[in-house]
Amino acid sequence: MDDVQRVNDFKARIGAGEKIESTDWMPKEYRDLLIKQIHMHGISEIMGAYPEKEWVGKAPTIRRKLALNAKVQDEIGHGQMLLRLAEDLSRPYGRGREALMDDVLEGRVKFHNVFHLEAPTWADAGVIGFMVDGGAIITQAMLLDSSYAPYARMLKRIVAEESFHMQHGESVVLALAEGSEAQRAMLQGAITRWWPAMMYFFGPRMMGPSSQKMMDYKIRTMTNEQLRQKFINRYVPRIQALGMAIPDPALYQDAATRTWHYTDPDWEWFTAVVHHNSGPMSQARLSLRREAHRGQQWVREAAIEAGRVLQERGA
């Protein structure tokens, strides 16, 4: 069978709703799109640990501390599961965990715009759970139908855990909304900070060629704009119900089409942040990741060596 025929057969299988496994033959284009998507998703989970990690040590109650610690742990856990998938897909390229992690440090893989930003108050920790995790659930719920079965399976687990994150974030937000003037002001500050970032989160109105191809291959099934509309529709009434302002005077819903109109985020600025790691916290968080990964390469090497010694001793 020639390659063109093979690719066409593959596309037909996907068109018929079949799911693909890691050991199945797949076109290079499909493999590369999956690697790009899952690698970025996994790395975003890992980089997402840093803005919230800062608040574990300062959490205001024992319960909040335990929950936030567990939440950050889940993010790392999702990163671990997703990287394992990306690693398996990258095997034909001879690339494993080490190479995929090096990609972050050397700017070869991007991570979500939200994790380049500052989280200067406790309310930010809550709003990240409430809005960022809420946004992530919307994206991931779409991916549950992905044509790549290992990704869809793993996402089932991830979405279940994200729903705890959203509940936790909501609980923090609600406590602040029910609190003192100072607590409410802190909450408003965080919502004002994160709203434009959430408008960027789902990507440009017009999707790029690779996002379009991901739709063709049914890796994803909805457009950026469809996802953003779902988000706005869900969050606007809730934020307003809390008596909080949304920092967008142009925001309104068309009564006839039910479409939300909103002010565009600063596309250029956010895109530069993501592409060049030039956000306010990009370099600080990358240097934490570098310290963990490169700084402790000796530990991983020692563990591999010790594993060999153990095996030789038959222990």
Taking the C-alpha atoms of residue 245 and residue 134, their distance in angstroms, rounded to an integer, is 18
Taking the C-alpha atoms of residue 38 and residue 212, their distance in angstroms, rounded to an integer, is 16
Across the strands, what pairs with 148? 20
CA 68 to chain centre: 17
Angle, CA of 116, 133 and 103, to the nearest 5°: 40
Taking the C-alpha atoms of residue 4 and residue 2, their distance in angstroms, rounded to an integer, is 6
257 binds another protein (CB under 8 A): no
Taking the C-alpha atoms of residue 242 and residue 170, their distance in angstroms, rounded to an integer, is 11
* Binders of another protein in range 35-54 (CB under 8 A): 46, 49-50, 53
Is the distance from CB of 162 to CB of 137 less than 8 angstroms? yes
Strands 252-253, 260-261: pairing kind:
antiparallel
Closer residue to another protein, CB minimum distance, 258 or 313: 313
**Smallest distance, Å, CB 286 to another protein?**
8
Stretch of 5-13, 202-210, 218-226, 286-294 contacting another protein, by CB under 8 A: 286-294
How many residues line the site for another protein (CB under 8 A)? 76
Among 21, 209, 255, 258, binds another protein (CB under 8 A): 21
Secondary element (H or E) of residue 252: strand 252-253
Closer residue to another protein, CB minimum distance, 102 or 225: 102
**Smallest distance, Å, CB 238 to another protein?**
20
**Smallest distance, Å, CB 157 to another protein?**
8
Among 77, 120, 189, 204, binds another protein (CB under 8 A): 77
Stretch of 9-17, 171-179, 192-200, 210-218 contacting another protein, by CB under 8 A: 171-179
* Binders of another protein in range 100-159 (CB under 8 A): 102, 105-107, 122, 154, 157
Among 34, 40, 72, 89, binds another protein (CB under 8 A): 72
Quote the crossing angle between the two packed helices 181-201 and 149-177, to the nearest 10°. Answer: 150
- Residue that the structure tokens 């319960």 belong to: 63
DSSP characters over 117-130 = S---SHHHHHHIII
* Binders of another protein in range 291-310 (CB under 8 A): 291-292, 294, 296-307, 309-310
Closer residue to another protein, CB minimum distance, 80 or 226: 80
Closer residue to another protein, CB minimum distance, 55 or 195: 55
Is the distance from CB of 219 to CB of 142 less than 8 angstroms? no
Taking the C-alpha atoms of residue 66 and residue 49, their distance in angstroms, rounded to an integer, is 15
Closer residue to another protein, CB minimum distance, 63 or 261: 63
Question: By C-alpha distance, which of 211, 197, 195 is closest to 279?
Answer: 197
Stretch of 199-207, 227-235, 255-263, 289-297 contacting another protein, by CB under 8 A: 289-297
**Smallest distance, Å, CB 227 to another protein?**
26
* Binders of another protein in range 177-236 (CB under 8 A): 178-180, 182-183, 186
